[in-house]
Structure 1
Amino acid sequence: MMKKLIRLMSVLTVATLAACSSLAPQQPSQGTGVNAQNAIQRTGKFALLVFDKTQDKNTDSVQGNFLWNGVGENVVLDLSSPLGQTLARVEVLPGYSKLTRSSGEVFEAPNPDALVAQVIGQEIPVSGLRYWIKGQKIPNQPLIEESHDNAGKLTSFKQAGWDVTMSDYDSIGPTKFNLIRNQTTERIKIRLIVQ
């Protein structure tokens, strides 16, 4: 059971690029440069559900809160339990990604996708989240079955192995996300609600 929970948290932590712990959330840098103009902060709730196709049932689920701080290409994602206990932090810089669990255990890799593969032993592309959270597509990757709302904003598409639905845009991007990844033996569903 503990291995399943660790696996779930690792998928979600690195996917929504990010016990009682006092890891303090980092704030985006303040300034007037290009990075400050590209700063984004999102807070909200997440839920993750794994359906095992071989057993024909839901096998794992987890939910909680997230704090996403992005400045340019840098991202810090903090995940906490519904009661506010820090679960993990993910830090992404160009050429470097790190996951720190509340226990102090640290994993490092050159990018978020490699970090997921290292932590859970399975390749699950997650680097698209940095674009999707702003309502954008991953550059240089095709969108399949793309839909837009009346304002021309993306509402649903398939990209990088994920079926993505997003809605309720604010000035930064969508505030509701549903991500589904169908694999041979399991289906992963992630729901994000920005508050």
Structure 2
Amino acid sequence: MPINRRLSLFVLAAALAGCATTATQPSGTATAAAVAPYRDTIELTGRLQVTYQKDGQPGSTNGGFEWSQRPGQIDVAFLSPLKQTVATISVTPQGATLTEAGRAPRTASDIDTLSAQALGWALPVSGLRDWLQGYATGADGKRFIASPANNSVYTRDGWRLRFVSWQAGKDGAQMPRNIVAERGANAGSELAIQIILDPSA
């Protein structure tokens, strides 16, 4: 699999696997409804676009994903623009496994180690499983709960997180629709991730 495709896999999977995110306290006196309650078990689908620069070389990739989350495990299928499954990643407390078509499964103790082995450098992303539901843990260590009126935060590990647009969930509560996470240049690399989530079924 080309390195740019692997990059998109690990950007998403590393983030999904993490427990911590980053957040700030709500600003102002906005009264807009907060995001829907966090769910440990959830099924999501959407599209992913990654743009990055590594050692001065820019790149980008995009595709779809199907996410299945439950306590203790996250399974992610990555789809080509033609909706074909190109790879899957499973993450548990015991380790992470990458399965690609035509290749033997690759495993490691965690998603950061797996990304370092496959890409040659680690992606220190954590907490996207919270981000996808409108939650984070802020630079100050406090829990952040997003809303349409309070939609931006800087994370403890250096990400700028923006909830650009919203949609109604199954119960009518607000759920993220368009999420952008950006990380500035650090040791010659920078990264931007855009997630577009499909409406809840």
TM-score normalized by the length of structure 2 = 0.70
Distance 2:83 2:148 in 1: 38
Identity of aligned residues (%): 26
The correspondence for 1:192, drawn from 192, 195, 199, is 195
Amino acid at match of 1:50: Y
Q: Which sections of structure 2, spanning at least 5 residues, go unmatched?
A: 18-38
- Please say if residues 88 and 100 of structure 1, whose CA atoms lie closer than 8 Å, have aligned partners that are also in contact: yes
Residue of structure 1 in register with 2:70 after alignment: 71
Amino acid at match of 1:162: W
Distance apart, 1:148 and its partner CA: 5.0
The 5 A counterparts of 1:154-165 are 154-165=151-162
Residue of structure 2 in register with 1:176 after alignment: 178
> Is the alpha carbon distance of 1:87 and 1:190 closer, same or farther for their aligned partners in structure 2, counting shifts above 3 Å?
same
How many matched pairs?
A: 170
Listed one character per residue, the Cα deviations across residues 121-153 of structure 1 (whole Å, up to 9, x for unaligned) are 2122223112211222249x7459x795466x6
Residue of structure 2 in register with 1:110 after alignment: 109
Listed one character per residue, the Cα deviations across residues 51-105 of structure 1 (whole Å, up to 9, x for unaligned) are 35736xxx21111111011011310011111111212101011221111112233
Listed one character per residue, the Cα deviations across residues 94-122 of structure 1 (whole Å, up to 9, x for unaligned) are 22111111223322122222222222121
Distance 1:104 1:4 in 2: 15
- Please say if residues 49 and 193 of structure 2, whose CA atoms lie closer than 8 Å, have aligned partners that are also in contact: yes
Matched, 1:50 2:49: no
How large is the RMSD of aligned CA atoms in angstroms? 3.0
Query: In terms of mean alpha carbon deviation, does 69-78 or 123-132 score higher?
Result: 123-132
Distance 1:173 1:179 in 2: 16
The correspondence for 1:39, drawn from 26, 38, 41, is 41
Distance apart, 1:4 and its partner CA: 3.4
> Is the alpha carbon distance of 1:91 and 1:4 closer, same or farther for their aligned partners in structure 2, counting shifts above 3 Å?
closer
Amino acid at match of 1:133: L
Instruction: Say which structure, 1 or 2, has more relative contact order (CA 8 Å, 6+ apart).
Output: 2
Residue of structure 2 in register with 1:126 after alignment: 125
- Please say if residues 15 and 126 of structure 1, whose CA atoms lie closer than 8 Å, have aligned partners that are also in contact: yes
Query: In terms of mean alpha carbon deviation, does 9-18 or 72-81 score higher?
Result: 9-18
> Is the alpha carbon distance of 1:45 and 1:10 closer, same or farther for their aligned partners in structure 2, counting shifts above 3 Å?
closer
